[in-house]
């Protein structure tokens, strides 16, 4: 039997976004040894992008990981397929079609590469390093420009038969409701609870209430940050924007709880800066829509991970996943 010295193992975590790609070398305790980023959208093909990643990261590996074992590479990316290691028709990335991304990475770096979407990676990161340590059943909801999700059940991420499970942002919370600007679906959670959705709600509501402080901003300055500023100053309309958002979120969360009965739901992303303005109504409407058997059991908490590092940590957690 050989004893593995975990302190010598390192994973490369990569988070691919539409504009920038962040990466970091992470140890088993979730400490980022070194990190950096490169542009995503200036590379016309995935091949040249992988070349650029290698040119940037290889010197860092050589410098910082002397005597350590590179266990593998974990990548979080939109529309990434866990089973096949491909990125499939990602609308926000410059590379079209089905990209065999994990194979490209392995060929270049000489290490095994696992992939999943960014929200699933974030859920793994929470389970390994964050607020979900020790939990076997929880749901991670990322509330940013869009709404993503990662679902852990019985200690495993739910990938579904095709690797694309957990698109909770696109579940319908209000049939026939607000049309989504990109998918065209009507009344999805993302249409209300994303930063984009909150801006839409705020613009509608301020038009109805000329006295609202929200009317002192130009149209393009209305976002979840400015709504929060107004809510903090006591503007009733801004507070109502978040209350309405929280209600829609809470109604959706109740449905998720009755699906997989998690012990906690973790909220993550820019929108949670609204704090109790959104958390309290979300909790209220979640509980209200639950069967009694589920009530007062599910913790609704904010992520503990630093937002800047969470995506890298989550991607690296793919490497340690059993």
Applying CB under 8 A, the residues found at the interface with a copy of itself are 79, 88-89, 135-137, 151, 153-154, 156, 158-168, 170-175, 183, 185, 251, 254-256, 258-263, 289, 291-294, 297
Q: Which residue has the tokens 């991420």?
A: 157
Backbone angles phi and psi of 22, in degrees to 5: -105, 150
Query: Is the CB of residue 149 less than 8 Å from the CB of residue 168?
Result: yes
Task: State the Cα–Cα distance between residues 5 and 27, nearest whole angstrom.
Answer: 12
The residue among 13 and 163 lying less far from a copy of itself, judged by its C-beta, is: 163
Distance (Å) of CA 217 to CA 166, 229, 235: 36, 11, 13
The residue among 35 and 295 lying less far from a copy of itself, judged by its C-beta, is: 295
Distance (Å) of CA 169 to CA 119, 124, 148: 11, 18, 5
The residue among 174 and 273 lying less far from a copy of itself, judged by its C-beta, is: 174
How many other β-carbons are positioned within 10 Å of the β-carbon of residue 156?
13
The residue among 56 and 171 lying less far from a copy of itself, judged by its C-beta, is: 171
Task: State the Cα–Cα distance between residues 145 and 307, nearest whole angstrom.
Answer: 14
Shortest reach from residue 144's CB to a copy of itself, in Å: 18
Shortest reach from residue 161's CB to a copy of itself, in Å: 4
Give the pair of three-digit tokens for residue 55.
Answer: 């040119």
The residue among 54 and 159 lying less far from a copy of itself, judged by its C-beta, is: 159
**63: Cβ contacts below 8 Å, ≥ 6 apart:** 34
Query: Is the CB of residue 246 less than 8 Å from the CB of residue 281?
Result: yes
Shortest reach from residue 155's CB to a copy of itself, in Å: 10
Shortest reach from residue 77's CB to a copy of itself, in Å: 14
The residue among 81 and 226 lying less far from a copy of itself, judged by its C-beta, is: 81
Coil, strand, or helix at residue 12?
strand
Shortest reach from residue 54's CB to a copy of itself, in Å: 29
Backbone angles phi and psi of 152, in degrees to 5: -110, 125
Shortest reach from residue 170's CB to a copy of itself, in Å: 5
């Amino acid at each position: 039997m050989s004893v593995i010295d975990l302190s010598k193992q390192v994973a490369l975590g990569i988070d691919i976004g539409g504009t920038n790609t962040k990466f970091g070398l992470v140890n088993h305790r979730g400490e980022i040894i070194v990190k950096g980023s490169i542009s995503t959208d200036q590379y016309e093909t995935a091949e040249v992008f992988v070349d650029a990643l290698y040119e940037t990261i290889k010197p860092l590996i050589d410098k910082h990981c002397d005597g350590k074992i590179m266990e593998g590479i974990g990548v979080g990316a939109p529309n990434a397929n866990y089973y096949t290691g491909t990125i499939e028709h990602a609308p926000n990335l410059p590379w079209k079609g089905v990209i065999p991304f994990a194979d490209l990475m392995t060929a270049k770096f000489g290490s095994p590469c696992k992939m999943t979407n960014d929200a699933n990676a974030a859920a793994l990161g929470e389970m390994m390093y964050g607020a979900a340590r020790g939990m076997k059943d929880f749901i991670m909801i990322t509330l940013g420009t869009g709404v993503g999700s990662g679902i852990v059940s019985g200690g495993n991420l739910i990938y579904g038969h095709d690797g694309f499970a957990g698109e909770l942002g696109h579940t319908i919370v209000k049939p026939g409701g607000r049309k989504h600007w990109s998918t065209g679906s009507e009344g999805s959670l993302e249409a209300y609870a994303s930063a984009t959705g909150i801006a839409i709600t705020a613009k509608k509501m301020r038009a109805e209430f000329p006295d609202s402080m929200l009317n002192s901003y130009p149209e393009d300055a209305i976002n979840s940050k400015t709504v929060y500023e107004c809510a903090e100053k006591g503007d009733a309309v801004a507070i109502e924007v978040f209350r309405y958002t929280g209600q829609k979120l809470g109604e959706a969360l109740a449905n998720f709880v009755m699906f997989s009965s998690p012990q906690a739901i973790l909220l993550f992303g820019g929108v949670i800066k609204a704090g109790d303005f959104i958390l309290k109504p979300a909790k209220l409407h979640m509980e209200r829509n639950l069967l009694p058997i589920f009530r007062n059991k599910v913790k609704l908490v904010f992520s503990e991970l630093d937002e800047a590092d969470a995506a890298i940590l989550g991607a690296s957690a793919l490497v340690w996943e059993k």
